[in-house]
Structure 1
Amino acid sequence: MTTVAAHPPARVLADLGPVAQLRAGRLGRRLPQLVIGLVLYGVSLGLMVRGNVGLAPWDVLHSGLIEHLPMTLGQAVVVMSFVVLLLWIPLREQPGIGTIANALLVGLSADATLWVLDEPSALAARIGLMVGGVVLCGLATGLYIGAQLGRGPRDGLMTGLHRRTGLSLRLVRTLLEVAVVLVGLLLGGVLGAGTVVYALTIGPLTQLFLPWCLVDIDAPDLGAAPTLD
């Protein structure tokens, strides 16, 4: 006789607390995927900086901050990560080890990329770095969110607003990117063509890659989980 499991593996983003995230299984896949995704995210930001044809929207904000504070771009990423976590409180987002790892690893990876990579002189090469950075960031976002060990601070805003408003992931992400660009510009951040490309494409890219990267987990309570539509 065939036994049907009471709770099949999740194919949505499960809304789990830190302990439940660790108990959901497949840590041998999920933990490495989380770390790889976070490191690649930092690399993608560094690629866009060295492309020098426009920063990622959040980095427009970060670049504005470092105009006023004595810190590197990566350090600004870390500081803003913990500031953004405060905005999770009204959204009731569930943090995890991936949330804290995101706040630390992305900034460190971005600074490391900037340390080893110089800005090319050819415009075509710089455009290539920008495009590669945007696509890599979409993939990296799918990897670390798909590990289901807690969204990063900025993506927690995306998934939290998605859950609360019913708007699609791509629309929420795009609106967030446009908003932080405006704040960054007010602080003296740098805007370029790459910023516009990133702001308009990162939402669709995230929605494209996330279903491919989503890890099946044992999550019995999925009633409040955001869908991938």
Structure 2
Amino acid sequence: MKSIHDWLQFVLGLIIVSVGIVFTIKADLGVSPWNVFHIGLTNYFNITVGWASQITGFVIIILSFLMARIKPTWGTVINIVLVGFVIDGIMLLLPDPASLIFRYIYLFLGLIVFGFGVGVYISAECGTGPRDSLMVALDKKLKVDISWIRTSIEIFILIIGYILGGPVGIGTVLSALAIGPIMGFSLKLMNLSSRKRGKINA
């Protein structure tokens, strides 16, 4: 059973992730594949980016259940709902960058914040995101390497999002290159923190 500390860390990580997403959106230099898709949806439906993220998340967990009977955890549901609401809230609060230099600052800050937040919430081990459930479901159905499935999904989503008018640019490329290393560094920091906390509590 997860502790209150774990759940607080999980929620904090999701909030950090959401802030990072908004910085990359406000930079308007291209976003990650899933956010290209979410923003593309807002071009065709009268919804916010947060709503697009939430609707996509719930559709994915339904598909995952239908394909492979993968049941969503409370962590998955919290992930979908909280990230969507926080994105919409921060979108209203964060000012648009005033110049190209500030757009790049927003982009790099967003990538760092997002990658760090992912490490924070993953290390809490309170549940996976809906997209991870989809990867596992497809893995069970197709019996192929899960990294190939992940790449294929993101390429497909990126293409659909681009067709819908989502922003593809240097930020999209940098997100593919930078998020993994930043997340890995964050996970190492969180694991080190957990070990220190364990020694203190021992």
TM-score tier after normalising by the smaller chain length: 0.7 to 0.9
Distance (whole Å) between structure 1 residues aligned to residue 123 and residue 189 of structure 2: 8
Change (3 A) 1:213 1:157: farther
Residue 12 of structure 2 is matched in structure 1 by 36
- SS for the counterpart of 1:36 is helix
Identity rate, percent = 33
Count of residues in correspondence between the two structures? 190
CA distance in 2, matches of 1:43, 1:206: 15
| TM-superposition CA deviations, 1:95-124 (whole Å, max 9, x none) | 321100011011111111111111112212
The answer for the alignment partner of 2:102 in structure 1 is 125
Name which of 182, 207, 210 aligns with 2:159: 182
Structure 1 residue 191: Cα displacement: 1.1
Partner amino acid for 2:37?
L
Match of 1:54 among 30, 34, 38: 30
Q: CA shift at 1:209, angstroms?
A: 3.1
Q: Which runs of 5+ in 2 are unaligned?
A: 196-202
Partner Cα separation in structure 1 for residue 131 and residue 167 of structure 2:
20
Which structure 2 residues correspond to residues 16-95 of structure 1 after superposition, within 5 A? 23=1, 25=2, 27-89=3-65, 90-91=67-68, 93=70, 95=72
Q: CA deviation at 1:167?
A: 4.7
Question: What TM-score does the superposition give when structure 2 sets the normalisation length?
Answer: 0.81
Q: 1:165 Cα shift?
A: 4.3
RMSD, aligned CA = 2.6
Q: 1:192 to 1:125 in 2, by over 3 A?
A: same
In structure 1, the gaps of 5 or more residues are: 1-22, 217-229
Is the CA contact 1:94–1:150 (under 8 Å) kept in the aligned structure 2?
no
Decide whether the 8 Å contact of 1:47 with 1:113 is kept in 2: no
Q: Deviations over 1:148-173 (max 9, x none)?
A: 221111233356668964555xx765
For 1:188-225, what per-residue CA distance to the aligned partner results, in whole angstroms no more than 9, with x for missing partners? 22211101111233234334433543669xxxxxxxxx
Higher helix share: 2
Given the two structures, how large is their TM-score scaled by the length of structure 1?
A: 0.72
Q: Partner amino acid for 2:89?
A: A
Deviation of residue 56 (structure 1)?
2.4
Name the residue aligned to 1:104.
Answer: 81
Q: Distance in 1 between matches of 2:134 and 2:116?
A: 18
